[in-house]
Structures are given as C-alpha cells and as structure tokens.
Chain A
Amino acid sequence: MSVPHALLALLSEGPKYGLQLREEFEAGTGEVWPLNVGQVYKTLGRLERDGLAESDDAGQEGPQKRFRITADGRQALADWLRTPPDLTSPPRDELVMKVLVAARVLGTDAHEVIQAHRLYLLELMQQWTRLKEGEARDDLSLALVVDAEIFRLDAVIRWLDAAEVRLARAAAAPPRPAAAPDPAPRLRRLEARR
C-alpha cells in the first residue's frame, strides 16, 4: 500500500488538513489499513520536500496546516496509477515453504498439513464473508478491499488443492525405470534449483 500516493489522491480532491486526510484514508480503505497520525505528517513532510504537495501556511505547524497537491504531484499520481506493481518475482511464501517441507520430511503426512491450512483459510474466508454480508454491503471501498482479500485467500486454497493432487499423483506414480537409477529424483531437482 503506497501511503504517499493515497494521500496525493485525497489531496487531488482539494486542500485538506492532516487529521482529515487520516480519517478519509481509513474510510477509503474500508478501515482495514490503519494509519497513525504521525505517519500522515511524516509522509506529508516528504511530499512537501519533493514538491508534490505544498502547505497553505508554512508558518503554522501540526493540525492547523492545510495541504494541497501541486502540478508535479498530480503527474506523480497519474504515473503511479498506470504503473503496474512489481509482481515479477514470486514472494517467499511461508505456506508454500511449509508444504514443500512437509512433502520432504519423512513421517510427515503432507495431506494432513494441507488440510490444517485449508481449514484455517476457510475460516478466515468465512470471517471476510461476514464482513461482506454486513459492514461492506453499503460501503464500496470496504467491499472492494474485502473482495480482494477473499480472492487472495481463494487462490491460496486452490493452490493447496492443486498441491494435494500433485502429491497424491507423485505418491501413486510407479517407480522410475532402471535407466534412471536415482533414489530421490524429485528432491534432487528441488535442490538443484536453489
């Protein structure tokens, strides 16, 4: 979440005070992402330093200061909106690591491990869905945030389903023919990739 650009977006609607920005930021993100007031003023200070925002009265401090977006700020906001976030390298996902490890550690039932995570994720999805059913019903920002989280969790559950099928398939596969006298080809391949 880019706080500077979110604040620029709010300032693009008109001049605002710091506390007002904090309130509008939280309302605009469905109150899912908290933002403390210190963080708001620190970010505004940086935006001002970089010429992306300016304050009404340089002499006043704290809550009395009103900020407005500059032309450079508008351009920076427009550029940011159209620049895709960097998703090229996969994140080091803890759950992926756990399943990879479960598949390798002798005596570990990987399906049981997957099941435990699946149930946890489903319960989280239930909680987000309750939010969708209640508070998010008439709050577009919150509905969008909740949808994003539900789709993310759904993707993880689907990955667990796929992992389970792959593990079952691997376990049922006939042993490799003698031409490949490798005691643990799958594990070696994983190691080689590191």
Chain B
Amino acid sequence: MSRPGAGGDPASVLELRGVSKTYGQGPAAVRALAGVDLSVRAGEMVAVMGPSGSGKSTLLTIAGSLEDPTSGEVLVCGMPLAEMPRKRRARLRRRAIGYVFQDFNLLPGLTAAENTALPLELDNVPVRKARTAGLAALAALGVADRAGWFPDQLSGGERQRVAIARAVVGDRRLLLADEPSGALDSVNAGDVMRLLHEACQRGVAAVVVTHDAQLAAWADRIVLLRDGRMTGHTTRPPGPESLLMPEETR
C-alpha cells in the first residue's frame, strides 16, 4: 500500500500540500481553505482547532477523500489521491481510513460486535474474519463484554468506545475524528481522547477536529486554523515532569 508520493515524507500517513477549497463561483464564492500544508506521521495525533467557520470540517472531509480540494495535493499513505482511480480511492477510504463522529453514528439494529465488524464486511472480508477483528477491536477498547449489546443498551461512554473500535478495526492507518467526544461530560470526554491517543500509540495517525482546548491538549501537536488558513501550531512541549517538584526539593 505504500508508493511514496514525489518528495513526500515516507513516514507521513496523511499529507496536505497547499490545499485550498472554494465553494461556489464568482462573487458568491466562499473560500473554506487557503493553502493548507499539514503532515501527520504514523503514531502521531494532531488536533485542528479553530472557531466555527474556520475550515476545520472541510479539512477533515478532504483528508478523508470525501471531497476534492480546489487546488493542492492530498496524499494518504504516500499515495496522491488525485492520481488514483475512483474504485481504488474508495477501497483506500474503506481500508485505511477510520472515522469517528460527534454523535457516534452506530446502527441501532446491530449489536456492538456487528457495528464494529461492519466496515470490514462492507469491504468483502469474510464474516467470520470480520467478526474476529471486530471483537479484537472491542477488546482493545475495553468493551469486549458488551459485544452482544445493542447501542441503546450502552452508556454514552461505551457507545463512543464502540464507535472508536469500529474506526480502528482491521488495519486502519488514519483516524479522522470530528468533535469525537460529542456531548459527553469532561471526564468521559477525556477518556475518549485517551483511547484515541492509545490507538495512535499503537501506530495509527489521527487528526482530531475540535473547538475544545481540553480535548485538543491530548494531541501531540495542535494546529490552529482561522478563515481557512493555518495561523500557528504548538511545538512539542517539554514533558509533564517539568510541572512536578524537582527531586532535590522533596
């Protein structure tokens, strides 16, 4: 699955190069993104923060190949999306990219295990194999004992764990999340971010779009977006030990 794009960072799972997006034409044209460069490596979580209308969601839909940029280039797993035939692109979307939505989007008539295995089954993975992978993903998120439960029998936190399991099931390389903690309280929202961060530590790359600084703070890097432009990003801060007392004062 890896044919590095010309000049691309081989470790990058997602790369946006000079990506712009304009909706409409002429005087009614609305520029949603303007020349955005972003590279996310395997194992890295990047949070994109900005006020509403700053282009966050557009960035995510373009990164997920659900929409094409007006100009610029998008590479997923080193492969330029623009050069990819439609079918191959759809396959990449199904196999390599997982999505986490604000309102979980679990199908109410399916159990947690069935919901989790669904993306693989849609990709023609044999049912038994899909089921096994689904159960493994539920186990990694600590909800294996809820495999047979339906979404309306689960708590909000459990539903979101199942949604994350579905997003990482199989061999997903890129996780895209739009306000992934939904309406959860801050402690449960923190748990969701912890789970996403743990998925990254297992090698997945993630882009999390949020307006909430507390959620963004879980990311390795925070990118600020305003009026479609990247206006700044955090540099890797020193470790948490800098906040604790030095040993000699104890």
Instruction: Name A's B-contacting residues (CB within 8 A).
Output: 26, 31-32, 34, 36, 115, 118-119, 121-135, 147, 150-151, 153-154, 157-158, 161, 165
Cβ-defined contact, A32 with B244, below 8 A: yes
Question: Which of B51, B239, B245 has a CB less than 8 Å from the CB of A127?
Answer: B239
Q: What are some 17 contacts across the A-B interface (CB < 8 A)?
A: A32-B243, A34-B250, A115-B224, A115-B231, A119-B224, A121-B213, A122-B213, A123-B235, A125-B214, A126-B234, A127-B237, A127-B239, A133-B194, A133-B197, A133-B218, A135-B244, A150-B217
Cβ-defined contact, A130 with B235, below 8 A: no
B249 cross-chain contacts in A, Cβ below 8 A:
34, 36
CA distance A171 to B234 in the complex (A): 27
Instruction: Name B's A-contacting residues (CB within 8 A).
Output: 49, 51, 186, 190, 194, 197, 213-214, 216-219, 222, 224, 231-235, 237-240, 242-245, 249-250
Q: A32-B244, A34-B245 are in contact. Are A119 and B232 (CB under 8 A)?
A: yes
The residue among B219, B243, B244 with the most chain A CB atoms within 10 A of its own CB is B243
Chain B interface, DSSP helix/strand/loop, else mixed: mixed
Question: Which of B234, B240, B245 has a CB less than 8 Å from the CB of A131?
Answer: B240
B243 cross-chain contacts in A, Cβ below 8 A:
32, 127-128, 131
Nearest neighbor of B216 in chain A, beta-carbon distance: A122
Cβ-defined contact, B214 with A154, below 8 A: yes
Quote the shortest CB–CB distance from B241 to chain A (angstroms).
9
Cβ-defined contact, B218 with A122, below 8 A: no
Cβ-defined contact, B240 with A135, below 8 A: yes
Nearest neighbor of A150 in chain B, beta-carbon distance: B214
Cβ-defined contact, A125 with B224, below 8 A: no
CA distance A118 to B226 in the complex (A): 13
Question: Which of B217, B242, B245, B250 has a CB less than 8 Å from the CB of A129?
Answer: B217
Quote the shortest CB–CB distance from B232 to chain A (angstroms).
6
Cβ-defined contact, A122 with B240, below 8 A: no
B197 cross-chain contacts in A, Cβ below 8 A:
133
B250 cross-chain contacts in A, Cβ below 8 A:
26, 31, 34
CA distance A36 to B240 in the complex (A): 22
CA distance A20 to B240 in the complex (A): 26
Quote the shortest CB–CB distance from A152 to chain B (angstroms).
11
Quote the shortest CB–CB distance from A169 to chain B (angstroms).
13
CA distance A150 to B244 in the complex (A): 15
Q: A122-B234, A127-B237 are in contact. Are A157 and B213 (CB under 8 A)?
A: yes
CA distance A13 to B242 in the complex (A): 32
Cβ-defined contact, B245 with A31, below 8 A: yes
A124 cross-chain contacts in B, Cβ below 8 A:
237
Quote the shortest CB–CB distance from B57 to chain A (angstroms).
18
A119 cross-chain contacts in B, Cβ below 8 A:
222, 224, 232-234
Q: A122-B213, A133-B218 are in contact. Are A128 and B240 (CB under 8 A)?
A: yes
